[in-house]
Amino acid sequence: MKAIAKIGNLISNNDKMMILRNLRRIMDIRVIDLEVDTGRLIFHYYSPIALEQVKQELWRIGYPIRHFKFLSTLSPNLQGDSTTETAFA
């Protein structure tokens, strides 16, 4: 599954490096992109537990997720994507 998250407190490339270093420790995810200027993190996760670990780790290191968009790619035989959005306070 694919997710796009809006990260809070992301200001510099040092912040980006810290986030990437910490997320690499989570085995069941793969970071696709992290943009400093927009705070957008795009990643694939392979289990609900891994997704929860991403949320907890980002909160723990001071970069909470402000907004999520879940993208569920359907099988090649089906057309389109299923999308779910979640906002965090």
Q: Is the pTM of this model over 0.85?
A: no
Given this model, what pLDDT does residue 57 score? Answer: 98
What is the Cβ-side half-sphere exposure of residue 74, based on CA atoms within 13 angstroms?
7
Assigned fold of 2-87? Alpha-Beta Plaits (3.30.70)
Q: How far is CA 43 from CA 6, 23, 31, 77, 78, in A?
A: 12, 10, 4, 23, 22
Give the residue extent of every domain in the chain: 2-87
Residue-wise pLDDT tens digits, 10-48: 999 999 999 999 999 999 999 999 999 999 999 999 999
Given this model, what pLDDT does residue 86 score? Answer: 63
Token code pair at residue 6: 């809006």
Q: What mean pLDDT, rounded, does the chain reach?
A: 87
Strand-pair partners of 67: 6, 87
Residue-wise pLDDT tens digits, 56-80: 999 999 999 999 998 865 434 333 4
Given this model, what pLDDT does residue 71 score? Answer: 86
Token code pair at residue 71: 């993208």
Given this model, what pLDDT does residue 22 score? Answer: 97
